[in-house]
Structure 1
Amino acid sequence: MKIYLDNAATTPLSREVFQAMEPFIFENFGNPSSSHSYGRQARKAIEESRKTIADLLNTNPSQIIFTSGGTEADNTAIISAIRSNGIRLAITTPLEHHAVLHTLESLKRTGEIELVYLSHDHKGNLSIRELEQLLSTGDRALVSIMHGNNEIGNLNEIESIAEVCCRYDAIFHTDTVQTMGQYRYDTQQLQADFLVGSAHKFHGPKGVGFLYSSAASQITPLINGGAQERGQRSGTENVSGIVGLAKALELSYANAGVYHQHITHLKQKMIKDLFYRIPGIRFNGNSAEHNSLKTVLSVSLPDQANGLSPISYLDQLDICVSGGSACTSGSGSHVLKALGDQQGRTTIRFSFSRYNTEAEIDEAVNQLANLYVHETLTEMRAVC
């Protein structure tokens, strides 16, 4: 059977989400900026979707901006914060997604900001005390720290980080692409200036996302050319995608308890089974611990002496996994490099969704264990 365990890269589209989208693909296909009935229907769908998302996040609809996805939302938040507020210091971590790191690095190269990276331990845990020391030195700063790491599953203490940022009048952007739809956010409680969502990470369509910006946050448009999104993001809106985004987030919130229990069970089962079946296995970051994303398990394996890649081996068996972020496929993981020497090890990222089953976990573990058993037997025969 074909098994998909790469849900941190993208998730399968929910049929309920597609059913919500379908009328806006074939029937109500109007341009939402048009004044006739087709346009008004499309505009109504967008504003209803905006309100749905705002209600789920406990905010005002005017604070939700639709984008093409998480990367655009992260870029918009970071560039807006720096340019609208005259920020000269940005603080981040070397473990962020490239949508954050590359944006900040480009601003550093042009001389717009000084860029400082927080240190971390061998598992990727950050020091909030160090952040406070950096913020206490003077100039107002932008802090950009993700909630959940897409490669190693670490969950950062964004509530505590937000409190520190608020105390020192810093602007706080948190990349919540991996956690939106998995965890509940109450913007009246969490003192974050920017949150980010990408629909395809929680069983919505690809190519659509949103940016939450607090009332105090000013947006500098990245895309100009029209008055869409109240002049904050030009371009004809992806109506069916926006409808699907709202529906997907609504379903995730409505069923959060059931989904959480199911996925947590699958992850714990895989951790236990892999640990007992494969000698020398390790887990990267906090991915096998309680303070991690329930959807991500990063596994560190001894390299195969015969040179066979475990990922390629599983792929041949129609078991889909990855070595890390899909955005860095083929170039190596900057996250794992930051955690230390990975020589002689192979990393597999398993990532789960509500559609995975126990039988799929059993099959994936069995096949991976068989590879290592075969390797051990081959070595024993060679010695004999």
Structure 2
Amino acid sequence: MEQRRTVYMDHAATTPVRQEVVEAMLPYFSERFGNPSSLYALAREAKEAVEEARGRVAAAIGGRPEEVFFTSGGTESDNWAVKGVAAALRKRGDHIITSAIEHHAVLHPCEALEKQGYRVTYLPVDEFGRVDPGAVEDAVTDRTILVSVMAANNEIGTVQPVAEIGRIAHDHGVLFHTDAVQAIGAYPVDVDGMGADLLALSAHKFGGPKGTGALYIRRGTRVATFMDGGAQEQGRRAGTENVPGIVGLGRAIELAVGEMPRSSARIAAMRDRMIRGILDAIPDTRLNGHPTERLPNNVNVAFRYVEGESILLLLDSLGIAASTGSACTSASLEPSHVLTACGLPPEHAHGSLRLTLGPGNTGDDAEYVLTVLPGVIERLRQMSPLGGR
């Protein structure tokens, strides 16, 4: 029996752990299993591995090792940044500025803070999902304590003008946080160039293990402790360190950033080929996100007269793994908040397809998708009561 072909194009949701990363992690599950907080030699080995990984993360983003704090992932990092600043600066102000297309790891903490009396401004975006830096400046008040705008959107791939937004925040004496979960390994990330006081990242988006992330906190930035307990992470994030995960994060970010120039160029060429092929072959289709200022691996298109869930099921039957949007909301029947913020009517947003490429994808993978996708959409439109021809 012929084995079914598998084409994985959902790297924005998660990525396979690289073999080099697995090999780096393995000793810390067994012979180097010590607790970094203990004092004997076995523990010191683990502590040294954690600090080496911290240095690798800092080097990858242009920060200092002492400004990197390990977490359980991007969601915790974003929560810590938003809630931590709000708690630390409550006496100074109670206003936060963010965008309407942030990941829910930022939006939901903001909504929780609103219930506690904070005020949040959710900035609109244009049709391409871009935040206007001028709107950020217009929204700042004397009570603003934080601006939080993601570096690149996880659904539509639009890259934000974060350097300009960070400069505006600092001009007004306001802290700037950016969710860079999708940006690491895709294009150069530099905390000074971005003006980032806080930056979140997650290992499993660039070949590392799930359940491990980091929050960059610029030296001198006031952020409340997020987890109380032990004195780990300079007393700011309690809990025994996930040594294997941290080692994996350090190795993964070193590899991803080191290979980025060559890898991103190859993947971007494949992305462009797929976008052209889909738009040329399938009528009543539109590209979501910015046409040029977008992640090198992101293809997000909306098809009229079809449902995204049906597209995914048929693609899965053909061995293609894709998404309709954020993996965190894939079980929801509501249209993507990102697409509706960009102005898509709900009936169009429901027909979205996100294909996100990775280093393991080949030109043959892209051609396979371009070969089968038109037939999938045509079949669904023939079945659709919404107006298929």
Query: What amino acid sits opposite 1:303 in the alignment?
Result: Y
Q: Which amino acid aligns with 2:259?
A: N
Offset, 1:317: 1.4
After superposition, residues 177-326 of structure 1 pair within 5 angstroms as 177-286=181-290, 289-304=291-306, 309-326=310-327
Query: Counterpart in 1 of 2:64?
Result: 60
Residue aligning to 2:340: 337
Distance 1:128 1:283 in 2: 23
Per-residue Cα deviation, 1:154-183 (whole angstroms, up to 9, x for no partner):
111000001101100011001111102222
Alignment map for 1:39-118 (pairs within 5 Å)? 39-86=43-90, 87-111=93-117, 113-118=118-123
The match for 2:387 is none
Counterpart of 2:179 in 1: which secondary structure?
A: coil
Which whole-Å deviations, capped at 9, do the CAs of 1:100-155 have from their partners, x for residues lacking one? 000011011111x11111122222222211211222x4223310110100011111
Kindly provide the amino acid, as one letter, of the partner of residue 20 in structure 2: E
The 1-side partners of 2:130 and 2:188 are apart by 22
Matched, 1:126 2:128: no
- Is contact 1:223–1:233 with CA below 8 Å preserved after alignment? yes
Q: In structure 2, what is the equivalent of residue 382 of structure 1?
A: none
Native 8 Å contact 2:265 2:296 kept in 1: no
CA–CA separation in structure 1 for the residues paired with 2:76 and 2:231: 18
1:155-174 equivalences in 2 (<5 Å): 155-174=159-178
Asked if structure 1 preserves the Cα contact closer than 8 Å seen for 2:286 and 2:301, the reply is yes
Is the Cα contact below 8 Å between 2:87 and 2:223 reproduced in 1? no
User: 1:88: how far off?
Assistant: 0.6
Deviation track 1:29-52 (CA, whole Å, cap 9, x = no partner) reads 111112122111101100111112
3-state DSSP of counterpart to 1:189 = helix
Q: CA deviation at 1:69?
A: 0.2
Q: 1:180 touches 1:196 (CA, 8 Å); kept in 2?
A: no
Local SS of the residue matching 1:353: coil
The 2-side partners of 1:60 and 1:127 are apart by: 30
Among all aligned residue pairs of Structure 1 and Structure 2, give the percentage whose two residues are the same amino acid.
38
Structure 2 residue identity aligned to 1:360 = D
- Label 1:371 to 1:185 Cα distance change in 2 as closer, same or farther (>3 A): closer
What TM-score do the two structures reach when normalised by structure 1?
A: 0.93
Q: Distance in 1 between matches of 2:50 and 2:381?
A: 58
Matched residue, 2:361:
356
Cα distance in 1 for partners of 2:352, 2:278 equals 13
CA RMSD in angstroms comes to 1.9
Q: How many residues align?
A: 375
| Per-residue deviation, residues 350-378 of structure 1 (Å, max 9, x unmatched) | 00111111111111121111223456789
SS for the counterpart of 2:266 is helix
2:170 partner amino acid: C
State the distance in 2 between where 1:121 and 1:242 align: 38
Which moves more between the two structures, 207-216 or 76-85?
Answer: 76-85
Separation (CA, whole Å) in 2 of partners of 1:130 and 1:258: 35
Shift of residue 185, structure 1, vs aligned partner: 2.3
CA contact (8 A) 2:311 2:377 kept: no
TM-score when normalising by structure 2: 0.92
Distance 1:371 1:84 in 2: 52
Q: List alignment gaps of at least 5 residues for structure 2.
A: 385-389
> Which structure 1 segments of 5+ residues have no match?
380-384
Compared CA separation, residues 256 and 377, structure 1 to 2 (3 A): same
Q: Is the 8 A contact 2:177 2:197 kept in 1?
A: yes
Go from structure 1 to structure 2 and tell me whether the alpha carbon gap of 1:241 and 1:308 turns closer, same or farther (over 3 Å shift). closer
Aligned mates of 1:328, 1:245 — CA distance in 2: 25
- 1:205 and 1:245 in contact (8 A); partners too: yes
Conservation of the 8 A alpha-carbon contact between 1:70 and 1:198: yes
- Aligned partners of 1:301 and 1:346 also within 8 Å: yes
